[in-house]
Amino acid sequence: MVRSRFEINIARVSLVAVTAYFTFGLIIPIFSVGFQFESAAQFWETLTSTSTLSALKVTWLQSTVSTLGSLFLGILGAVLLYKLKIKSALFDWLLSIPYTIPTVVAAFTWVLILSKTGPLGFLNINYSLIAVIAAHMALNTPLVTLSLHQAMSSCPMDEIESAQSLCPNGFSVLLRYWLPRLRSSLIFVASQVFSLCATSFIIVMVLGGGPPIETLETGIFTRIRFGDPQWSGAAALALWQLILCVAPALLIFRKYRPRRLESLRAQHQIKKPAFLLALLIISPFILIYLLPYFSKSFLQLKFLSPELLTIFWLSMIDSLAAALVSCSLAGLATLLIYASALKYNQAHKVLILLAQMPAGISTLILCLGVWFSYGSWIDPFEGRVLMIGLIQSVLMLPFIIRSLSSNVYGARLQAIEEARSLGASFLFSVRTIIWPQFRRTILYVFTVSAGVSFSEIAAVSFFSAENFTPLPLLMSRFLSQYRFAEAEFIGLSLLVIAVFISSLQFWIGKRA
């Protein structure tokens, strides 16, 4: 395609800007983590110390078991929904909810449910690796079910019928038809779940019960939080985590790219009993997060007390500020990445790969890197919303890039020139030509970013200050002050926000 000079200029500027964004937001921080060792001997000693290897072992074990468990249950769920012929947007939406629940809320819910006085207290698994794995499975199973069910539903019915008639038995159909078609989705979702479990922080911290259950992520936290920070120890754990998560994530992304999932709408009447059965199976994965709000202390809380409401709104403003910055940066970065494709195809592929990298990088590592790199100029202790926004925007890029449709490639920027040659102003041209083409995309990016930003706690913990307390941090502060009912109130608010944003995201995603 012949590009106009205008489009080439846009591509050039975009390439420079987005390269700068990745350099400052990702490359420099990650490399700075690797430069915290005084000598090669210290590097090797720290990397292979007993505690580092123990953290690596626990991380690998809990991530692998959580992933396998989530895959097992998720596949069962997907098969069940497929057998019940459920093709409803409602179910897609319901299955997407647990994924958006803030981890601090999930950890809090599970610790209450599994506590001595909780409904599942009799299991006696709280503060153990089993509790961590159970919570990870509960959060990730719906994601696996959603991905696989969508992949299964997008297979043509005539193909399936042919396979069934040609293959001698069900196992053969599974092996010869389903497995090749679902392999990409399966590997892709498995890598995603593995990364999420390996980089999980607050769930491990709270439900694991501390030492001896220590993962790479919680290990980083303990090495930098107290007293004289052990930078090299934290960096060693960070390097192991990068090896564990990023390399497989990138390889898988290059080799197995899942097909774009079709928008699923109800294609035929679903039978009521099947619908109810499916609802019954899915609902525990969502309703479980509402359990804490039926406690006596919560119901007795004075929600409308001026003190609580003032703190809540101030915290909400902080959360909104962080979300606004991260949404803007993520939106801008996404558009720039796509605009670079107007001319630089190879560079664009590299940018897409870079945008995928954070999927395997924990927030703590990125925070640590940003701290190492820019701590001399920007005080990490002063509630830097810009730093929080930068980190959050980098972290949410993989989700955005993976879920965006390819319509952005077809955008006609040349039309701006044509409009302007006819006398239209630049702003008018953007409003009438660019905005309609990118509106849905931008809104989608904003909802994804807002969802991540509102629930993210590691970056806000790293760069927060007394006068900057976003909602997840406020919740954890209430918990540490034994104000459990107030913490539950913040948790419920975060839950409502998460469900609202996921609904919005789902609705926009369907229409985009």
Partner 1 sequence: MSCGAFAGKNEIMASRLIIVFLCLLGVGLASCRTKPEADLRILTYDSLRADGAIGGVLFAEFQRRCQCRVHVQSAGDAGQIVARFALDKSRKRQLPHVLLGIDQNLFRSVQSDAIEIFELPSLIAPQTKIDPRFVPFDFGYFSFIADLPAMTSKKLAIPQSYSDLLRAELKSQFILQDPRTSSPGLGFLQSIQGAFGKSSLQFLTQLRGRWLTMPSGWDEAYGLFLKGEAPLVWSYTTSQAYHDSSSESKGRYKALMFKEGQGLQIEGAIAVRSAMSSIHEQKLTKMFFDLLLSPEIQKEIPLRQWMYPARTDVELPLEFKALPTPTKILYSPDFESELAVKQWSEAVLK
Please choose, out of 141-149, 278-286, 350-358, 378-386, the segment that lies near partner 1 by the rule CB under 8 A: 378-386
Please choose, out of 96-104, 160-168, 169-177, 208-216, the segment that lies near partner 1 by the rule CB under 8 A: 208-216
Burial bucket for residue 28 (CB in 10 Å: 0-12, 13-18, 19+): middle
* Among 349, 375, 412, 428, contact with partner 1 (rule: CB under 8 A): 375
Q: Which of 16, 7, 13, 18 lies closest to 410, judged by CA?
A: 7
Please choose, out of 84-92, 204-212, 256-264, 346-354, the segment that lies near partner 1 by the rule CB under 8 A: 204-212
d(CA 413, CA 330): 21
Answer yes or no: are the C-beta atoms of 333 and 20 closer than 8 Å.
no
CB of 194 vs partner 1, minimal distance in Å: 23
Q: What string marks each residue from 459 to 498 as x (binds partner 1 by CB under 8 A) or -?
A: -------x------------xxxx-x--------------
* Among 79, 89, 378, 434, contact with partner 1 (rule: CB under 8 A): 378
CB of 36 vs partner 1, minimal distance in Å: 11
150 three-state secondary structure = helix
- Contact status: 406 vs partner 1 (CB under 8 A): no
* Among 11, 47, 55, 113, contact with partner 1 (rule: CB under 8 A): 55
The two three-digit tokens of residue 455, written as one number: 């629930």
* Among 136, 149, 348, 384, contact with partner 1 (rule: CB under 8 A): 384
465 three-state secondary structure = strand
Long-range contacts of range 35-39, CB-CB < 8 Å, 24 or more positions apart? Answer: 35/372, 36/231, 36/232, 36/234, 36/235, 36/372, 37/232, 37/235, 38/232
d(CA 255, CA 151): 17
CB of 43 vs partner 1, minimal distance in Å: 18
- Contact status: 11 vs partner 1 (CB under 8 A): no
Site for partner 1 in 224-283 (CB under 8 A): 224-229
- Contact status: 210 vs partner 1 (CB under 8 A): yes
d(CA 366, CA 375): 13
- Contact status: 9 vs partner 1 (CB under 8 A): yes
Q: Which is nearer to partner 1, 170 or 229 (CB)?
A: 229
Question: Side-chain half-sphere of 137: how many Cα atoms within 13 Å?
Answer: 20
- Contact status: 5 vs partner 1 (CB under 8 A): yes
3-state secondary structure 216-229: HHHHHHHHHHCCCC
The helix or strand, by DSSP H or E, that contains position 433, with its residue range, turns out to be none
Answer yes or no: are the C-beta atoms of 356 and 247 closer than 8 Å.
no
* Among 211, 260, 302, 349, contact with partner 1 (rule: CB under 8 A): 211
Q: Which is nearer to partner 1, 390 or 508 (CB)?
A: 390
Site for partner 1 in 137-196 (CB under 8 A): none
Phi/psi region, residue 337 (left: phi>0; alpha: psi -120 to 50; beta: rest), is alpha
Given the rule CB under 8 A, which residues bind partner 1? 4-6, 9, 13, 50-51, 54-55, 115-117, 126-127, 205, 209-212, 214, 221-229, 371, 375-381, 384-386, 417, 420-421, 426, 466, 479-482, 484
